[in-house]
Amino acid sequence: MSGPDRYQWRRDKDGLGVWEHRGKVAVAGVGHSPVDRRWDGVSMDKTLGAYSILACQKAMDDAGVTPDQIDGVICCDSHIAGGSGGSASQWAPRPYFPPPYDSEWGLTLVNAKWLIEQMHLPNVKFAPTGVPTISEMVGMAAQAVGDGVCSTCLVIYPTGNLEGRYRRGGENADDYARGARQWTAPWGNHGGNDFINIFPHGQYCRKYGGKHDDLAPFVVNQHRNGLLTPWGYNATHNVPQLTVEDYVNSRYILNPLRLWDCDRPVNASAAYLFTTAERARDMRQKPVYVLNHSQHNFRKRSTQEDLDEIEDWTDRAARRMYEGAGLGPAEVDIFNPYDGYAPMAQFFLEGFQWHGVKRGDAFAFYAGDIRVEGPHPFCSSGGNLGNGRTRTAMYTDCIEQLRGTAGARQVKVRAETALGAFTTPSSGGWIMFGKHPS
């Protein structure tokens, strides 16, 4: 049942050329659980495991696939808060429940083995362990289907959140800084994507002009797009539309990083069904083809990434993706980079030169019309900022825009190609989708 853990699936080098499976793999199903702020510790139909099963069922229903047809399951089995999750991401030492919730599996962690057992999937032959996050899982699935390792593959990304302060436990509660943290934590860097980007963001503002609060139009628009996303946290919890005034008056976290530059941790799960383009054509939905996937893992030179490195890395990631997809910036219709901390999206926007935006132009671009009904529908998903820290809105929006099923978020411009990611500038991956296989 387990797949090859050492399967070489990544496209993480420069100059790999056009992806050999371009247009031969497709996404045929999408499923989202409800998005809750936290699991309440009581409702067994709302656990991370229950929500992952629900997301899988929805993705399978969306595609019209039955359990016996699933032969691949790729599930991320780590806490999104990492080693600092503390009580918000680990159930123990609280007492467990009757099976299948008699351990962390299903409560705060989900993996392929647990899902296969609970969902009674009889024909799974590819279920790798130790899989990375959604940024790379979608690439792994696309490559596995293209290579014939499996043909009908579920990709599941659970994001758990329990009661308690997020990232206020584990190593962040320690008096000692061990391992790589000996170089960062003594001075106050608790680790995370916020720190990766806030210093280069400051350098960006000084180099190109502008100020931190020039992010306001972007953040406000992310919340607007989130409210147009029926399954997202904001839309399902009556979160009022954020205003520029709200934004510029919000408290600081890592000054100048504001509260509204941060995404809201949630308890949710999402699933996608990858299959061959050929099979997808017989399934329930219009196929959305995979035109390329790429990954990157750039090493910083020293303690803190600087603007030069971030710009170099995003330039290189863009070149890899465009080369493998056989497309250029002008041919990308939908662009959903990661926004899990607002002062990061500008690096991707400019690196990928979407809608002609060059280095230093992002703030002016944000001040223009980036609404979904406008000419530059940037981040039409609403991302994490508009939907909660699901890290999946970017992928779902790409798929829905190409299907033409994005509802109130459906863009008015051409929607035939879509580029999405959950990635930091230093590590992660991108995936390019197409309405057509070539």
Is residue 238 close enough to count as binding other proteins by CB under 8 A?
Answer: no
Between 6 and 251, CB nearer to other proteins: 251
Using the CB atoms, write b or e for 166-195: b if 16+ within 10 Å: bbebbbbeeeeeeeebeeebeeebebbbbb
Residue ranges in 297-336 that form contacts with other proteins under rule CB under 8 A: 299, 301-304, 306
- Secondary structure (3-state) at 51: helix
Q: Which residues 6+ apart lie within 8 Å of 61 measured at CB? A: 29, 31
Between 252 and 375, CB nearer to other proteins: 252
Between 9 and 166, CB nearer to other proteins: 166
Is residue 43 close enough to count as binding other proteins by CB under 8 A?
Answer: no
Is residue 14 close enough to count as binding other proteins by CB under 8 A?
Answer: no
Which residue is it, tokens 């054509």?
Answer: 281
Residue ranges in 245-304 that form contacts with other proteins under rule CB under 8 A: 251-257, 299, 301-304
Is residue 175 close enough to count as binding other proteins by CB under 8 A?
Answer: yes
Query: From the list 2, 129, 182, 249, which residue makes contact with other proteins (rule: CB under 8 A)?
Result: 182
Between 42 and 187, CB nearer to other proteins: 187
* Radius of gyration (C-alpha) of the chain in whole angstroms: 20
Count of residues interacting with other proteins (CB under 8 A): 41
Q: Residue type at 233?
A: Y
Q: Half-sphere exposure of 361 toward its Cβ, with a 13 Å CA cutoff?
A: 14
The 3-state secondary structure of 313-335 reads HHHHHHHHHHHHHCCCHHHCCEE
Q: Binding string, 194-233, against other proteins, x = CB under 8 A?
A: ----xxx-xx--x---------------------------
Between 236 and 250, CB nearer to other proteins: 250
- Tokens standing for 31? 């499923």
Between CA 33 and CA 3 the distance in angstroms is 26
- Secondary structure (3-state) at 268: strand
Of 17, 24, 10, 13, residue with least CA distance to 326: 17
**Contact of 362 with 216, CB cutoff 8 Å:** no
Residue ranges in 325-384 that form contacts with other proteins under rule CB under 8 A: none
Q: Half-sphere exposure of 42 toward its Cβ, with a 13 Å CA cutoff?
A: 1
Q: How far is the CB of 326 from other proteins (least distance, A)?
A: 33
Between CA 30 and CA 34 the distance in angstroms is 13
Between CA 431 and CA 139 the distance in angstroms is 7
Between 209 and 407, CB nearer to other proteins: 209
Query: From the list 184, 236, 237, 315, which residue makes contact with other proteins (rule: CB under 8 A)?
Result: 184
Backbone dihedral angles phi then psi of residue 409, each to the nearest 5 degrees: -90, -5
Query: From the list 17, 95, 148, 188, which residue makes contact with other proteins (rule: CB under 8 A)?
Result: 188
Q: Segment contacting other proteins (CB under 8 A): 17-25, 150-158, 181-189, 384-392?
A: 181-189
Between 69 and 184, CB nearer to other proteins: 184
Q: How far is the CB of 181 from other proteins (least distance, A)?
A: 8
Residue ranges in 78-107 that form contacts with other proteins under rule CB under 8 A: 84
- Tokens standing for 396? 């779902």
Pairing of strands 257-258, 72-75: unpaired
Is residue 168 close enough to count as binding other proteins by CB under 8 A?
Answer: yes
Q: How far is the CB of 272 from other proteins (least distance, A)?
A: 31
Q: How far is the CB of 205 from other proteins (least distance, A)?
A: 10
Is residue 174 close enough to count as binding other proteins by CB under 8 A?
Answer: yes
The residues of the shown chain that bind other proteins, judged by CB under 8 A, are 84, 167-168, 172-190, 198-200, 202-203, 206, 251-257, 299, 301-304, 306
